Amino acid sequence: MKRILLVVAVVALYILHQDIWFWRSSHLVFGFIPIGLFYHGCFSVAAALLMWLLVTFAWPSHLEQEVEEAEREEGGAR
C-alpha cells in the first residue's frame, strides 16, 4: 500500500510540475513575489519532502546489506 501511495505522489508531483496555469498571471504573492516563483518554491519544498519519504520508506536496504556482506568477506580474506 505504501508503494502505491508513493508512486501516486511521484506521478502527481510530476503532473503539478507542468504549471501552465500561471504563465500569463501577473499576480504578486505577499506583494512582491511573482506567483510563478512562489509556486516553484512551494513545489521545491514538496519535492524535497517527497524525496525524504521515498528514502525513508522505499529505500532498497537489501542492496546495502549485500554490499556490506561482500565487504566483510573481502576484508576477512586479506
pLDDT for residue 23 = 83
64 — pLDDT class (breaks 50, 70, 90): confident
pLDDT for residue 48 = 97
pLDDT for residue 24 = 86
Tens digits of residue pLDDT in 1-33:
888 999 999 999 999 998 888 888 889 999 999
pLDDT for residue 76 = 62
Whole-structure pTM value: 0.74
The better pLDDT of the pair 36, 74 is held by 36
Question: What is the SS3 string spanning 9-64?
Answer: HHHHHHHHHCCHHHCCCCCEECCCEEHHHHHHHHHHHHHHHHHHHHHHHHCCHHHH
| Amino acid, res. 2 | K
